[in-house]
Amino acid sequence: MSDITLRQWLLTDEPTSRRHARLASLYKGWLTLRSNSMAMVGLAILVILVLTAVFAPIIAPQDPFVQDLSSRLLPIGAEGHLLGTDSLGRDILSRLIYGARITLYIVALVALIAPVAGLLVGTVAGYAGGWADVILMRITDIFLAFPRLVLALAFVAALGAGIENAVLAISLTAWPPYARMARAETLTIRSTDYINAIRLQGAGPLRIITRHIWPLCISSLIVRVTLDMAGIILAAAGLGFLGLGAQPPSPEWGAMISEGRRFILDHWWVATVPGLAIFTVSLAFNLLGDGLRDALDPKDGGQ
């Protein structure tokens, strides 16, 4: 390390250890991602979103829950209200800023639940085969047969309105594609020579799946999760729009659009501003996901 720079050490074709190889792979992936200008735009938007959510109490100019009927439906650029106010006189900019917290909360929980469930189901089905594969994949097909939002509506109607139930409903409808992907990867990996060698050394199915199959599925799963985030945000906004997600007076973007649709002709900004926020964040996730696909997909050869 003393005779070479850190960059040269990370870009070497002859890693000296497993840790060195992992760091080199991550650095090369970052270089591939950084070369994609649109992906960096998406990453920048998401970083701003995270910082906005973290520092919402400092950034927000007003209390998002305080009502002032004397200042209701003020236009964009009104004094003290950069993006105007809603029908109850609440500052739209402040509600957007606090709504970023709800959006990230939903995205984070769904990203933790759905891919893990799909990975577990898909790898077990692909490795075990036989009746286990048939049963698990037929259950997956049943979930895939219904449109995601319609199925989420059914779950929320059964569980009750609320943001936690909305997260659970979205997760229950989001896992099947991950299961399909994990199963396809597992079917390819399980017949390779090194898996056969590990099996001959006495490794059990649990160890093979968790230590040798899951790590090879992670990169494809990360790409799929990032690309699915836009759909998750839209599903959450759809539930909020229908009154089945975050409940008033929570500043959830979908609920804000639902409230503003009554004034869309005369006071267009009430619904348009949160709609633009959903569009921007969804676009950011799509741009970042496209860049991650180039950087992480082992079939693409980007690394």
The predicted structure's pLDDT at residue 90: 93
Looking at residue 290, its pLDDT comes to 87
Whole-number pLDDT of residue 2: 46
Q: What are the tens digits of pLDDT across the range 164-214?
A: 888 888 898 899 999 999 999 898 888 888 888 888 888 888 888 888 888
The DSSP string of the chain is --SS-HHHHHT-SS-SSHHHHHHHHHHHHHHHHHT-HHHHHHHHHHHHHHHHHHTHHHH-SS-TT---GGGTTPPTTBTTBTT-B-TT--BHHHHHHHHHHHHHHHHHHHHHHHHHHHHHHHHHHHHH-HHHHHHHHHHHHHHHTS-HHHHHHHHHHHH-SSHHHHHHHHHHHHHHHHHHHHHHHHHHHTTSHHHHHHHHTT--HHHHIIIIIHHHHHHHHHHHHHHHHHHHHHHHHHHHHTTSSSPTTS--HHHHHHHHGGGTTT-THHHHHHHHHHHHHHHHHHHHHHHHHHHH-TTTT--
For range 233-240, the mean pLDDT? 88
